[in-house]
A and B are shown apart, each in its own frame.
Chain A
Amino acid sequence: MTDLRDLAVPTRPDPDLVGMLTELFDDYRSARVAPTEVVDLDGDLWRRLDGLGLTRLTGSEAAGGSGGGWLEAAALLGIAAGAAAPVPLAEHDVLGGWLLEAAGLANDGGLRTVCRPDPSGVALNVTWARDASSIVALWEDRDDWRVVDVPVDRVGIEERRNLAGEPSDTVEFDLGDLEAGVVVAHEIGEQFHLRGALARCAQVVGAMERIVEVTVDHARERTQFGRPIGRFQAVQNLVADVAAETALARAATDTAVARAAASDWRDPGMLFAVAVAKSCAGHSASVVVRNAHQVLGAIGTTLEHELHTLTKPILARRSEYGSLHEWDETLTALAASAGHDRLWSLVTTGRAAPRRPH
C-alpha cells in the first residue's frame, strides 16, 4: 500500500515550541491586571520574549535571529494574539526584521516597526511607531522598491490609536531618507503586502481560538432558568458557529502558512493562498465577533471583561494590509480570469493551469 506520506503531509509547527508558547502566554494572561481602554506596549513582556529569542524568531542565525520559519512564526503570532499581548512581533520580526535582512541592512535589535509610505512620504496606521527606535520603510520609488531603516527622531509622528486602542500612528518621512534606501528585488516589494496580510490572519485566528474557549466556558458556567445557558439549543447554535467559522479561518490560514514555509514564499500560488486566508478569516470574523458577544451577554460588553481584548483586535487587523473588500476583489479577478475550465485548478493549487489547447 502507498505510504501516507506520499499522499499527504500534515503540516504543524513543532509541538514543543507550541507547548512552551501556550504555557508562557497562558501565564501572561492569567497574571494580567484588568483590561484597559488604551493598550500600550508591554515592555516587560517584550524584554522577556527577547531573552527567549522570540522577538527575532524568524531572523537568520547569522543575523542574531533564532532561525525559525513561517510555521513557527504563525504559531507565535496566534498564541500571543490569543493572550492579547501588546507586543509588535509581526512588525518587528516577521516584517521589519525580514526587510532589513533582505536589504542587507544591519539590525541592532532595537524595537522596529514597519510601513509603506506613500509617494509623499506619509504612512498611515503604523502600529507601535511611537514605541520603535527606528522604522523600517518599504518605498516604491518609480520602478524600484527601496528599504530604509529610519531612526524615529528623523520622522514626524502623529499619535493615533486603532479600534483596539493600540498605537497606530501617522508617520511622515523625509523624502531624502526614503530616496537613500537600498534597492531590493521586486519580489520583496510584492511579498511585503502578502506577508503582512498573512501575519494578520495568524493573529486573527489566534484570537478567534481564544474566543471559542471564552465562549464555551461562559456557556457552561453562566446559569439562567436553573441551568447553564449552554443547555439551550439556541445558545449551542451560536457557539457551534463560532467554533466552525474559527476552524475554517484556521484551515485557510494554515494552508497559506504551509505553502509559504515549504516554498519560502516562492510558490506562485501564494497570492491566491493569502487572499483565501484573508477573505475566509475576515468574513468568519463577522460571525465570531457577533455571536461571541451575543453569548456573553452584558458582561461581555464591559471594559473589565476579556472579550473585547480579542474582538477589537480581530476587527482592527482584518482591515490591515488590504481591506476585506480589496482581497475579495483580487480573488474575483483571479477567479474570473481562470474562467470555467481553470477555476478548480486555481482552488487546488493557487494557479490557473495553462489553458487546454482545443
Chain B
Amino acid sequence: MTRSMVPSVATEGPVLTELRLEVRAFLAEQIAAGAFVPHVDTWLTRWDRDFTRELGRRGWLGMVIPTEYGGQGRTYLERFVVTEELLVVGAPVAAHWVAERQIGPSLLRYGTEEQKHAFLPGISRGELTFGIGMSEPDSGSDLASVRTRAEQVEGGWRLTGTKVWTSGAHEADAFFALARSAPPDAAHRHDGLSQFIVDLRAPGVTIRPIISMAGDHHFNEVHLDGVFVPDDRVLGELGSGWSQVTSELGFERSGPERVLSTFPLLATAAQAMDDGRLPTDVGLGRHVARVAGLHQMSFAVSTALEAHENADTAAAVVKLLGTTEEGEIADYVDTLTASGWALDEELDTLLHAAILQRPGFTLRGGTNEILRGVIARGLGMR
C-alpha cells in the first residue's frame, strides 16, 4: 500500500451542512447587533462569559457530552463544524475553549460518576470554565519533567509548585494540574504523574499575570502553595497522568483552531484586494488553497477519530502544517501593506494582532519541532 499519512477525505453530510448554516446565521446576527467585534486568535484572547453562555443556551456547547450529564449527546463532527464557524468569524470563544475541547472529553473518559455530574452540566451550559496546568518554568516540551509535587495527606493531597503560561487562569474556575505524586524514577520517567482537578479560588493558589508582547493579559503564572485537593478530585488513576494527558492529543492537535486562528485576517485581506485597498497578488490564492486543503485534512482526521481510528500521526501533520500556515497568513498580509498607506482600521487591527500572536501558534500544545519528531516516529524513523 502507498504510505498515506492522513485518513481518507470525507464528504460533509447534510446534517453538518445544515448545522453550519444555522450557526453561521446566528453569528451574522450577533456581529450585526454588535455583540462582538471579530478578531484573530480568539480562542486564546477573547474571553466572554456572556457569549459562551449564549452558545450553551443554543446547544452548541457540551456537544459530545451525553444528555444524562447535561450535554447535547452529539458527535465530534458536529462539534467540529460549530467550532469552525465560530473561528472563521473571530467570535470570542476563549472562555469555554479548554473546557469544551479537553476537559469535558477527559472527564468523560477518566472521571468518576460524581465528577461527571459535578462538572459536565456546568461545562455544557458555559458556566464552568477551565484552564490547563501542565507547563512549568523548567518543563516545556519535556513535560514529563514537571516538578509540582503532590503529597498525600489526610483525605487528599497537597500540591506545591509553579505552573506557567496558564491561559485564562485569572478568569477560569478550575484547572487540571499535572503533578508528580510519586518520586521520579529515571528508568520510567512517565510513571508517578497524576492529574488533579484544582479549584483556582482555593487557599494557597496565587495567580500572577504574565503580559504578552502585545501588551495583553491572557496567560499567567499559577503558584500552588500546599493547595489541598480532596481525594475525589484526583482525575483518573493515580500515576497514570502521563497516558491520560497524551491520549486525547488526536483531538487536541487536529482541531480547526490549528488552522483558522487568522482566518478573519485572510477574509479581510480578500475583501481589501477586491476593493483595491490591497494590491492584487497571487499569494492570496495560494493561502486560500492551503487553508482549504487543511480544512479537508482536519475534517478527514476528525472523521477517522469519530470512527475510533487512531490518527495521532495525522493529527500531528495537521497541527504542524496548520499552525505554520496561520502564521504565514499574518506574514503574507504584512508583506502587502505599506507603512503610511491609508489602511482601514479593521485590517490594521487584525494584522497587528496576528503578527504578535503568531509566535505562539507553533509553540502552544506541542512545538513544531516536537511534532516533526512525532511524525518521524510515525514513519518508523525513531
Q: Which residue numbers of A lie inside 8 Å of B, CB to CB? A: 1-2, 4-12, 18-19, 22, 78-79, 82, 206, 209-210, 212-213, 216, 219-220, 230-231, 233, 236-237, 239-241, 243-252, 254-255, 258-259, 262, 272, 275-277, 279-280, 283, 325, 327-341, 343-344, 346-348, 356
Contact = CB atoms under 8 A, between A and B. Distances in A.
Given A7-B77, A219-B381, A276-B293, A251 B3 contact: no
Interface stretch (B147-155, B354-362, B368-376): B368-376
Nearest to B273: A336
27 contacts: A1-B74, A2-B15, A6-B13, A7-B16, A8-B306, A10-B7, A10-B8, A18-B1, A22-B1, A82-B2, A213-B3, A220-B380, A230-B382, A240-B379, A244-B320, A250-B4, A251-B293, A252-B292, A254-B9, A254-B296, A283-B289, A332-B281, A332-B285, A332-B288, A334-B285, A338-B270, A347-B295
B14 A337 contact: no
Report the contact-size class of chain B (Cβ under 8 Å from the partner): 35 or more
Contact of B274 (A272, A337, A346): A337
B289 A280 contact: yes
Contacts of B106: none
B282 A340 contact: no
Contact of B290 (A230, A255, A280): A280
Question: Which residue of A1, A19, A330, A335 has the most chain B CB atoms within 10 A of its CB atom?
Answer: A335
Given A7-B15, A206-B2, A343 B267 contact: yes
Contacts of A248: 290, 293-294, 297, 317, 321
B47 interface: no
A252 B268 CA distance: 24
Given A251-B300, A279-B285, A8 B12 contact: yes
B78 interface: yes
A1 B73 contact: yes
Nearest to B299: A8
Contacts of B300: 10, 251
A166 B372 CA distance: 36
B20 to A, nearest CB: 7
Given A6-B13, A251-B293, A279 B286 contact: yes
Interface in B83-140: 85, 88-89
B84 to A, nearest CB: 8
Contacts, number: 236
Given A5-B13, A244-B321, A336 B2 contact: no
Question: Which residue of B3, B284, B292 has the most chain A CB atoms within 10 A of its CB atom?
Answer: B292
Contacts of B317: 243-244, 247-248
A279 B289 contact: yes
Given A18-B1, A212-B3, A331-B289, A251 B296 contact: yes
Nearest to B11: A9
Q: Which 4 A-B pairs have the closest CB atoms?
A: A331-B285, A279-B289, A340-B271, A332-B285
B16 A8 contact: yes
Contact of B9 (A5, A11, A213): A11
Given A78-B2, A212-B3, A348-B295, A10 B9 contact: yes
A270 to B, nearest CB: 13
B303 to A, nearest CB: 5
